[in-house]
Structure 1
C-alpha cells in the first residue's frame, strides 16, 4: 500500500463530512489507527481494515488502496526457507547435460500422479522435498512433445496453487505464468487463471482479480444445457473469484450477480463435481454455498454466516479440503464476533486436527485467535498449544 493511503483516506473522510472519531465509531477501526494513517505514521494496513473504512465512506476499497497493493507476505515461521529450493527450481530450470539418466514422460507422469495426494492433503513438508526434483524432471521432458509439455503445465499449475496457499506470492506468480503460457487446453488454462485470480485476491489486488475473472468467465461461458461438468466447474470458479473480488471491493450488487451465475452452473451440475485426478476442479452446490457464507462474513454478518453454515453439508468433504476449512475459519470468526469464544476455540481445534500443516499458513486464523486470547486473562494448556500451532505470540 502506498504512502498516499492516509492522504486519500483524509480527503474522502472530509468530503463525507465525518470526523475521525465518527469514522472510527461507524467502521469499527480504532481511532488511533485512523489518526496514524492520516498523519503518515502508518503507511500500511490490512486489506480487511481498508475495506471497513471504504465501506463506511461508501467508496470502493480500491479507491483507497493502490491497484498494485500487496498484502504483506506474513508466512508461517520457516516457510520461506522451506520453499527456497522450489523457488530456485522455478527461476533456474535445468537442462539434461550432465544429469545422467534422463527422465521419461511415463516416469514423470507417474511421479506427478503419486504426488497428487500430497497436494490435496496439504502435506507441505513432503512436497517441499520432492517438488524441486519433480519440477526439474518435468522441465526435462517438456521438450519431448505435447504429452511432456502437458505434464509441466499441470505441475506448474499445482505448484502455483501450493505457493499461493503458503503465501509465497512471487514464486507462485512465476509458476502460474509458466502454466498459462504453455497451456494448450482451454479448460486447464481457465483453471490456472482461477488460481491467478486467487493469488491477486490474496495480494489485495481486487480490481485486477475482478477484471481477469470476469473476462475469462465471459470467454468460456458454456451453453449450460450442453455443458460438461468440467466446463461448468471452470466457468463457475471464475464467477466465484469475480464475486469474491467484488464483495471485498464494496460492490455487493456485482458480487451477488456473479454468485447467482455461479449458482446456476452448480444447479446444472446437480451435485458436487470432484474428479479424483484434479481436486482443484471440485465444484457444485456446496462450493457455492460455502462462498456465499464467505461473502456474508466479509460484510460483517456473523449471524448469517452461522445460519448458512448450519445448512451446508460439509460432512462429505475431505478433511483437508481448503474450501471446507476456509469456511470453518469463517464459522470461527462468526463465533468470535458473537463473543462465543469457547465455540471459536473448538472450531479452530477441529481444523488443527484435520489440517495441521494448512492452519499455520492462514493469517486469518492468527487474527481470529489473537483476538480471543487478548480477551482472556488466563489461557488453558490447550489454548497455549493452539497458539503455538497457529503461530500466535503469547
Structure 2
C-alpha cells in the first residue's frame, strides 16, 4: 500500500460524515486498525480489508489504495526458486561446450513430460526439472525458429508457477517474454489471462481490470459458431474482469462480466480443456466456482456455503487450483460463521489432495489464523496444519 493510505482513508471518511467508530461498525473492520491506519502507524493492510472499508465508504477500492502491499517472500522460499530465477535471467554462455546440443524433438518431449508437474502442483520436482529445461529451450530457440512456440508455452507455465509461489518479479518477466514469443492470438490471450491473475495477486486492481476488459473485447467470439478454445479464452478473461471488479467494489460490473462468462460456459455445454491445456479448462463449474469466490470477497459467507452446496467440487481433481481456491473460500465462510470444525475438515481435505500447494497460499494462512484465534487450546491437528502453512502458533 502507499504510505498515503491512512490519509486517503481519513479524507474519504470525513467527506462521508462518518466517525471512526461508525466506519468500523459499517465495515466490520476493527476500530483499532482504522485508528492505526489513519495515524500512519500502519501503512498497509490486506486487500480484502481495504475492500471492506471502500464498500462502507461507497467508493472503489482503488480510491483508497494505489497498489496492494505484497506479502514478502521468506528467504527460504526465494532460495528454493533461485535456480529458476537464474535460468530466466542469465544470458546464454557462448563458451558452453555441452557434449550434446538440445534438439527440437528432445525439448518438445521434455516439455510434454514436465507439463503434468505443473498441473499437479509438483513444486519439488519442478525446482529440479525447470532450470535445465528453460536453458535448453533458450539455446534451441537461438538456432531453430520452430522452437519459439515451445519457449512461449514454457515461459507461460513458468510465469503461472512463479505467480502461484509468490515469486512475482520472476512471474512478470516470464510472462512478458511469453507474450513476446506468442505466435498466435490464442496463445497471447492465454498469457494475458495469467498476467491478469498476477496483477490480481499483486493487488493491482485497476491494471488487472483494464487489461482483462480490453482483451475480453478483443477475444469475444462470433456466436453461435465459436469453437471451444475461443469460448474458453473469452470466458476466462471475463472471469478475471469480474474478479478485479468485485475487489474494486464494483459489484454491478462484476456481475455483468460473470453473466457473460456464464453465457460462454452454457454455449460450451460442459467443462472442457481446449487443446489439452489445463490452464484453459473452462465451463459451467468453473463459472460457479468463481461466482462463489466473488460472494466470499463480498463477505457473504452464508451465500458462499449455499452456492458451494450446488457445485460438484468432489468431481474435480484434488490438485485443481480452482477447486483448491474454492475450498479455501468454503473454509473461510465456515470460519466467519464460527463453524470451526467444518473449516478444519475443509483444510484437511485440501492438505490431503494438494500438500505442496497449500503451504504457498497466503489466503490459507489468513483463514487458518482466524480459526486458531477463536480457540483457547489447539488440537494436534490444528498445530500440524499451522506448521504446514507456516503460521506461528
Tell me the TM-score range normalised by the shorter chain. Answer: over 0.9
Give the Cα–Cα distance (whole angstroms) in 1 for the partners of residues 79 and 233 of structure 2: 33
Mapping for residues 12-27 of structure 1, pairs under 5 Å? 12-27=12-27
The residue aligned with 2:96 is 98
Give the Cα–Cα distance (whole angstroms) in 1 for the partners of residues 226 and 91 of structure 2: 38
CA contact (8 A) 1:328 1:351 kept: yes
Give the Cα–Cα distance (whole angstroms) in 2 for the partners of residues 161 and 169 of structure 1: 10
Mapping for residues 193-208 of structure 1, pairs under 5 Å? 193-208=192-207
SS at match of 1:78: helix
Are the structure 2 counterparts of residues 263 and 239 from structure 1 closer, same or farther at C-alpha, using a change threshold of 3 Å?
same
TM-fit CA distance, 1:144: 3.5
The residue aligned with 2:29 is 29
TM-score, normalised relative to structure 1: 0.97
Are the structure 2 counterparts of residues 314 and 81 from structure 1 closer, same or farther at C-alpha, using a change threshold of 3 Å?
same
The residue aligned with 1:85 is 83
Give the Cα–Cα distance (whole angstroms) in 2 for the partners of residues 308 and 3 of structure 1: 38
CA contact (8 A) 1:270 1:284 kept: yes
TM-fit CA distance, 1:77: 7.2
Q: Aligned residues, how many? A: 392
TM-fit CA distance, 1:145: 3.9
The residue aligned with 1:5 is 5
Give the Cα–Cα distance (whole angstroms) in 2 for the partners of residues 113 and 168 of structure 1: 24
The residue aligned with 1:261 is 260
Mapping for residues 158-173 of structure 1, pairs under 5 Å? 158-173=157-172
The residue aligned with 2:373 is 374
Unaligned runs of 5+ in 2: none
Give the Cα–Cα distance (whole angstroms) in 1 for the partners of residues 44 and 311 of structure 2: 36
TM-fit CA distance, 1:316: 2.2
Per-residue deviation, residues 142-161 of structure 1 (Å, max 9, x unmatched): 13344200100000000000
CA contact (8 A) 1:216 1:238 kept: yes
Per-residue deviation, residues 279-332 of structure 1 (Å, max 9, x unmatched): 001000000000000000110111111111111112221110000000000000
RMSD, aligned CA: 1.2
Give the Cα–Cα distance (whole angstroms) in 1 for the partners of residues 171 and 84 of structure 2: 10
The residue aligned with 1:237 is 236
Runs of 4+ in 1 over 4 A off after TM superposition: none
CA contact (8 A) 1:286 1:312 kept: yes
